[in-house]
Structure 1
Amino acid sequence: MRIEVDDLSRPEIHALLNEHLQSMHALSPPESVHALDLDKLRQPEITFWSVWEGAQLLGCGALKELDARHGEVKSMRTPAALRRTGAGRAVLAHIIEVAKSRDYARLSLETGSMEAFRPAQALYESFGFSYCGPFGDYTDDPNSVFMTKTL
C-alpha cells in the first residue's frame, strides 16, 4: 500500500470523489453537505493524498490548513467495494503525522451524524479524536458531528 500526494488529475480519483459527493448528497440535506469537489480540493491550503495497491485506488484523504496551528481532515473516502482494506486507517495516520510535522496543535473534522457515518466516527475515535462543537466556518447542524484531536 502506498500513499502519495495526488494532483487530482487521474480518472480513478475523479470517480472516487464523484462517488463520495453522490453519497454525501444521498445521506444529507444539501445545506449539510461539506464534501469538497475537485475545484475546492485544488486550493493551496489543501494537500490531497491517494492510497494505492499497485494500480488499484484504495482511498483518499486531505488536510486543509485552517490556520498555522489548526488543520482539518477532509475528503476521507474508500470505494464502497474496497472498504475494510486498511486504506482509511493508513491515510488518516498519514494525515496526523503530516499535521504534527507542520506543528499543528489541533486537528479537527466534520462528519455526518446519521447511522451511516458511525463507522467513520468509530475510526476517528480509535485515533483519539473526541467530539466537540463547530470550528472554523461551521455552525451547529443536527446533521453534522464535529471531532478534534490535540496533537
Structure 2
Amino acid sequence: MSLKKLLKEKGYHQIKLKYTKTNHLELVAKINDIEGSFILDTGASSTCVGIDAITHFELLSEDSDIKAAGAGATNMLTQISQKNRIEIKGWKKKKVDLVLFDLRHVNEALENHKADKVHGIIGADILKRGKAVIDYKNKALYLK
C-alpha cells in the first residue's frame, strides 16, 4: 500500500508542495480566508507572517516579548496575532497564534535566487497540531 493511500485512509489531507529555486518547500495556505504563499520550515518553532503582510491577511497585532532568530538574523523584534484561522488545502484549525516579524532577509535571499517572495513560514507548531507527515520524494505534506 502506498503512503498516500495509507494516510488518506487515516483521515489525512494531502497538500502538494513545490520546491523553490532555493530548495525550500513551498505551499499555499489561507489565513482568515485570505490566500498566501508560505515556506515549510520544520526548524521554525512557530508559524510566522511577515510584518509587511499584516494588512494582506487583515491581522490584529500586538507587541510581543518573543525575540525571533532565523537564517542570518537574530534578536528581531516581533509582534503576535492571536486567534487566527488557518486552512491548508481543506485542513483547518482555529485559534492559531502567529508570530509577526520582518521577513525581508528571507525574501531578499529568495529574490537573489530568482525565487518568488513568501508571506510567511509554516512552522513546527502547525506541523505538530496536524500530525504532519512530509513525503519529500513526492513533494507532499499530509496533515490530519
Q: Which has the larger radius of gyration?
A: 2
Higher fraction of strand: 2
Q: Do the structures match in fold with TM over 0.5?
A: no
- Greater RCO (CA < 8 Å, at least 6 residues apart): 2
Q: What TM-score comes out, normalization by structure 2 length? A: 0.28
